[in-house]
Structures are given as C-alpha cells and as structure tokens.
Amino acid sequence: MQHLTQLCNRQCTLTVMQQEPRRMTRNQKPMSIISCDIDSLKRVNDQYGHDAGDRILVRFGEIF
C-alpha cells in the first residue's frame, strides 16, 4: 500500500491480482482493477517540487 495515496503500489497490485480471483470465484462477485500512469509527473516534480507532485498524487488517489 502506498501511504501517500492509500492506493496499491505495483507490488501490492501484483499480490492483489494473485489473491482476488480466488475470492471473486468463492463469493461470485466481480473484480475491477484500475492501473494508470500520470504523464509528466517527473516534470512537475522538477519544476514545482515534490510537494506539488505529492498533491497531484493525493488528488488522483481521492478521485479513484
């Protein structure tokens, strides 16, 4: 889990993708996974600082 956004990071996502299909089958419930990449975030960090980049990440986390 990524503490800043409260969303899964890459490693967490891989673990979930291994575990959830079994639970989905057992509970007969659908599963959805959203994966995204924020283009140019490095440029934002470089130009405005990591605090600005973190605010963007947190906001995207809230939206998701």
Q: In 3-state terms, what secondary structure has residue 7?
A: strand
Cα–Cα distance for residue pair 58/16, rounded to 1 Å: 21
- pLDDT, tens digit, for every residue of 5-61? 888 888 888 898 888 888 888 889 888 878 888 899 999 999 999 999 999 999 998
1 pLDDT tier (thresholds 50, 70, 90): low
Nearest by Cα to 13 from 37, 41, 43: 37
pLDDT of residue 41: 94
pLDDT of residue 17: 86
> DSSP code of 43?
H
